Amino acid sequence: MTNITKLTHSLNMIFQDSSPSAKIALAVSGGSDSMFLLYLCAHISKNIIVFHVNHQTRSECQEESLIISRYCEELGVEFQELKAENLSLNMADFENNARKERYRLFTEKAKEYHITQILTAHHQEDLIETVFLKILRGSLNIFIPKKRMLDNDTSLEIIRPMLFISKEEIESYLKENDIVYIEDSSNNDKKYLRNFLRLEIIPLLKKRIEGFSSKILSLSESRVEEEDFLSSYTKQREQDLFVNNKCSVQEFLQEHIVIQQRLIQDKMIHSFGANISRAHLLKIIVLIQTNKAHSIKLYSSFHGDLLKENGEIVIILNNPHKRLEKKAFIIHNKIISLELSQWKIKKVVGQGIVYTIDDELYLRLPHDGERIAWNKGTKTIREILKDKKIPLSQRAFAQVIIKNDVVVGLCAKDFVYLIPSVRATKDQSGLYIII
């Protein structure tokens, strides 16, 4: 059985196992790999929808989208163009930002179409490149699973059926069947790390090391097996340790450090859709072990601060819209909870604010000379900060608090002021602070 025959059989099984009323999505860039996958799938089932992301970064992008749309029309399958926003070939870490934007668009469109599966055209060479990229970026997960869940809310599953197919086999099949595809000029730009690895480094290693590709593929397959075991074991330990989603700190700390980290990391991914570094996982475990208050600045794909206050370990998330978000996942009284709690305004912690259920608050920098209500009159923010002896180095970071487009207060490091008219007493609605 050839690899192409094996792939065709695998695709047939995917479509047979799927619900007849639900379409399967294909991620199609227009390149040789995705057009190869589209051709095979379209000759197995018409119950598919093509998702094409127009990155809007090159003059050719719109023409490429039109070519794919016409080809889908010829094949009799549905086509959807998804337009990326705020991407530029000159931006820092373009590859990573573009990948995040693609998956954001896939998730959004999948919700709209009630799609639970999306096929991608990753092949052998993609897998080898990704292993190297992950090693160079310090990732411990040097593997690509054949399947993974992309989004917990939609249960969107990413399926990579072509990981055992080589680029050479794909190109040979395209030529034999006269399948049209698009050459992306940016794929030859060596300023992108993946392209540099593909065009320069990996070809040299293949020449120098006998069986190079098979060794890397074997390494990745071994890591997939190990990951499957660790994931399964971690889930079992969670079931054993946690009753009503809670367990004692003492029992938690008796687990192997790897399992401790994975229990926390799984919750971070589920709650925030983001990984954090091993170093930060270890710091969180230190917070669990000690009764002392701590503050850690997180540098991860979601960015934020991690604090320990009143026995709770709390994450204050930052986001581009300056909306304040605070979530705690480890609860006090020596009990660890994997249930996430969320609040709206309630307490000030530095420049982060916990909030009550009904209030959505935002932050912005004050305007020059901006005045707010103060002692039955008004006062400039600069004057207030000076009167409150806020250090000069911190005044530049002061921000006004906005509710429903109205300024309701001011916050700086270790200082918060709410305009009296928006304060509330106990059991009343409005904003309030617990110091």
DSSP string, 370-423: -EEEETTEEEEHHHHHHHTT--HHHHTT-EEEEETTEEEEEEETTEEEE-GGGB
- Per-residue pLDDT band for 266 (boundaries 50, 70, 90) equals confident
Q: Are residues 74 and 128 in the same domain?
A: yes
In-domain check, residue 226: no
Determine, yes or no, domain membership for 78: yes
pLDDT on residue 251: 83
75 lies in the same domain as 202: yes
Domain boundary (314, 342, 370) is at 342
Range with lowest mean pLDDT among 178-187, 221-230, 249-258, 397-406: 397-406
Which is higher by pLDDT, 240 or 296? 240
Total number of domains in the chain:
3
Residue 27 sits in the same domain as residue 142: yes
Res 272: pLDDT: 55
Q: Name the residue range of residue 332's domain.
A: 246-342
- What's the whole-model pTM score? 0.63
What gap in Å lies between CA 306 and CA 320, rounded to an integer? 18
- pLDDT computed for residue 36 by the predictor: 95
Q: Same structural domain for residues 187 and 73? A: yes
In the sheet that holds 406-412, the strands lie side by side as: 361-364, 399-403, 406-412, 415-418
Looking at residue 27, which CATH number applies to its domain?
Answer: 3.40.50.620
Instruction: Report pLDDT digits (tens) over 318-337.
Output: 544 444 444 444 433 344 44
Give the pLDDT of residue 317. Answer: 57
Question: Which pLDDT does position 42 carry in this prediction?
Answer: 94
Q: Are residues 378 and 316 in the same domain?
A: no
- 292 and 175 in a single domain? The answer is no
Q: Is residue 236 part of a domain?
A: no
Of the candidates 434, 432, 373, 426, the one whose C-alpha atom is nearest the C-alpha of residue 400 is: 373
Rounded CA-CA distance 164/167 in Å is 10
Please indicate, yes or no, if residue 319 is contained in any of the structural domains. Answer: yes
Whether residue 71 has pLDDT greater than 90: yes
Q: Residues 198, 337: one domain?
A: no
Report the pLDDT averaged over residues 298-305: 53
Q: Does 16 fall in a domain?
A: yes
pLDDT at 166: 92
Q: Does residue 192 sit in the same domain as residue 104?
A: yes
CA distance 37 to 119: 9
Higher pLDDT, 309 or 97: 97
Determine the Cα angle at 370 with ends 367 and 372, to 5°: 135
pLDDT tens, position by position, 216-244 = 888 888 888 898 899 899 999 988 887 76
Whether the Cβ atoms of residue 29 and residue 183 lie closer than 8 Å to each other: no
Domain stops at, among 199, 218, 237: 218
The CA dihedral of 242, 246, 249, 255, to the nearest 10 degrees, is 20
| 351 is a domain residue | no
**How far apart are the C-alpha atoms of 234 and 229, rounded to whole Å?**
8
Specify burial of residue 390 (Cβ count, 10 A radius: 0-12, 13-18, 19+).
middle
> Does residue 347 form part of some domain?
no
Q: How much is the pLDDT for 133? A: 86
What confidence score (pLDDT) does residue 332 get? 35
88 or 274: which leads in pLDDT: 88
| 72 and 192 assigned to the same domain | yes
Share of the chain above pLDDT 90, in %: 28
Note whether 29 and 96 are same-domain residues.
yes
Are residues 172 and 274 located together in one domain of the fold? no
- Over the stretch 80-99, which tens digit does the pLDDT of each residue have? 999 988 788 777 777 778 88
152 and 50 in a common domain:
yes
Residue 195 lies in a domain: yes
For residue 401, which of 432, 427, 378 has the smallest C-alpha distance? Answer: 432
Model confidence at 169, in pLDDT bands (50, 70, 90)? very high
